Amino acid sequence: MPNIDQYIEANAARFEEELCEFLRIPSVSADAALRDDMQRAAEWVAEQFRRLKLTPEIIPTSGHPMVYAETPTVAGAPTALVYGHYDVQPSDPLEKWTTPPFEPTRRDGNIVARGATDDKGQLLTHLKSLEAWMNVEGRLPINLKFIIEGEEEVGSHGLEKFLAEHSDRLACDCVVISDGSQFAPGVPAVTYGLRGIAYYELHVIGPNRDLHSGSFGGSVTNPANALAMILGGLIDKDSRVTIPGFYDDVVPLSDRERKEMAALPFDEKEFYEQIGVDGAIGEAGYTALERRWARPTFDVCGIWGGYQGEGAKTVLPSMAAAKFSFRLVPNQDPAKVSAGLKTCLAELCPPGVKTELIDCHGAPGVLVPLDSPYVEAAARAIEHAFGRRPVFTREGGSIPIVTTFHQRLGADALLIGWGQDDDNTHSPNEKFSLADFHRGIKASAKLWEELSKL
């Protein structure tokens, strides 16, 4: 390994430059106007493999393309599948960025750009560890397959379909994913749980045109009022979701897990201070960490309708709408949530308006066993690069495809995120620590060696 570590150190500056190049491509999967940039980002990833004399494939989907590559066969060695995504979230609100989202900038030891941590920077650590092995040793000690998709942030529909039809191509012993966070600066983590999600858009439609709110207010159901009532009706005063049966399948936290979470160095007061609030409402009886990692929730992600311009306009809007999601925990089924939600909406919708519900995407939560030799290998690799053993954490976010990997490939995921909670994921001024970028590359390179010993 010393030669490989040396290679990684000697090439650190170029790796950063390449990360910047990748980050300059505005690969926002949700934005149909950026289709060409999605293709460009896929090409950029493919080129990384071509330079190492591998033969990547750009696999088209009904949405954005995926990039697949594999290393030359090492007989008798395990096979790891590296998963990552080159798509990023929309960058708005633009005016809140200190520097433009697709002009990566170094600041305070971080690289700031949309996609820096989620997931271009993290994904690149595995491409660069591959490069280090290929250029130093001429080969890897194990078999690696890479599947890098462009639709993670919009539900992974193309990869889902690919796995349903060609799962044999992705056959592996374990899946390696860096698309999450460490526990805290200097406290690396292996993540053993992710929340699931059920995401919707709801339109509340009322009169056939906007109306004068004085002339008509009170006699006509206001769609914006109705929307507020409906959304408000989906949770109770204890922040519990009101959909009938919603909690039936929730795997409860064991006493042991609650103890372990409580033992993590997490300061609630500091957590809220950092976000700039003085506290929060949430499900009664649970700590902030438990609510984030292991309890289901309801959140409105966007809401609109009526006049948004300057000054006051007395108008009764003809429609209002919202985007919202339920974060789910292991064993909850997004399809059941959809069915329950429809029943709820029928009851909550007042006369005079009608609702239209769009079911955007859903994915179940994940729990991966910690007692595997792969987890131990990852812990050793992380210790090598980060100088301390990882703690074991769950995450509140979702990586929809992880469950499908388990179902279709029978392989568990090694979730080894290199980010930090304050990386501003999905938010303005997204960042990724450059030191963690380089440590991530080292940990990844070491992981291939550790896995080869199994």
> What residues does 106 pair with on adjacent strands?
111
450 is a site residue for ligand BES (CB under 6 A): no
112-151 footprint of ligand BES as x/- string (CB under 6 A): ------xx--------------------------------
Those residues with Cβ within 8 angstroms of residue 312's Cβ, 6 or more apart along the chain or in another chain:
none
Q: Distance between CA 138 and CA 143 in Å, rounded?
A: 13
DSSP for 155-174 reads T-HHHHHHHHHHGGGG--SE
Cβ closest to ligand BES, residue 34 vs residue 353: 34
Distance CA 433, CA 244 (A): 43
Instruction: Tell me if 226 sits within 8 A of 220, measured CB to CB.
Output: no
Q: Which of 119, 149, 151, 449 binds Zn ion (CB under 5 A)?
A: 119
Q: Which residues pair with 413 in a beta bridge?
A: 175
List, in order, residues 6 or more apart from 453 with CB less than 8 Å away: 377
Contact by Cβ (8 Å): 5, 445: yes
| Residue 193 contacts ligand BES per CB under 6 A | no
Cα-based distances in Å from 367 to 192, 372, 415, 451 = 6, 13, 11, 21
Phi, psi of 360 (to 5 degrees): -80, -55
Residue with smaller CB distance to Zn ion, 37 or 118: 118
Q: At its nearest, how many Å lie between Zn ion and the CB of residue 197?
A: 13
Alpha-carbon span 160 to 291, nearest angstrom: 29
CB of 240 to Zn ion, least distance (A): 28
In degrees and rounded to multiples of 5, residue 339 shows phi and psi of -65, -45
* Active site annotation includes 179: no
Of 31, 37, 149, 179, the residue at the interface with Zn ion (CB under 5 A) is 179
**Which region, judged by CB under 6 A, interacts with ligand BES, from 94-102, 279-287, 350-358, 391-399?**
391-399
> Which residues lie below 8 Å from residue 410, measured CB to CB, with a gap of 6+?
none
- The answer to whether residue 87 is catalytic is yes
152 contacts ligand BES (rule: CB under 6 A):
yes
Measured CA to CA in angstroms, residue 263 lies from 158, 329, 415 at distances of: 40, 21, 21
Packing angle of the helix pair 12-23, 2-10 (nearest 10 deg): 60
Cα separation, 176 vs 408, whole angstroms: 16
Tell me the window of 29-37, 274-282, 376-384, 397-405 that interacts with ligand BES (CB under 6 A): 397-405
Of the candidates 16, 31, 70, 87, the residue annotated as catalytic is 87
Among 197, 231, 261, 391, binds ligand BES (CB under 6 A): 197
For ligand BES, the closer of residues 131 and 151 by Cβ is: 151
> Which residue from 31, 70, 87, 118 is in contact with Zn ion, where contact means CB under 5 A?
118
Q: How far apart are CA 49 and CA 144, in angstroms?
A: 12
Closer Cβ to ligand BES, 415 or 441, answer by number: 415
From the list 1-9, 123-131, 159-167, 393-401, the region that binds ligand BES by CB under 6 A is 393-401
Only segment of 16-24, 29-37, 174-182, 238-246 that touches Zn ion (CB under 5 A): 174-182
* Part of the chain binding ligand BES (CB under 6 A), chosen from 25-33, 125-133, 177-185, 232-240: 177-185
List of residues contacting ligand BES (CB under 6 A): 118-119, 152-153, 155, 179-181, 197, 361, 363, 395, 397-400, 425
Just list the catalytic residues. 87, 152
Residues at the contact surface with Zn ion, assessed by CB under 5 A: 118-119, 179
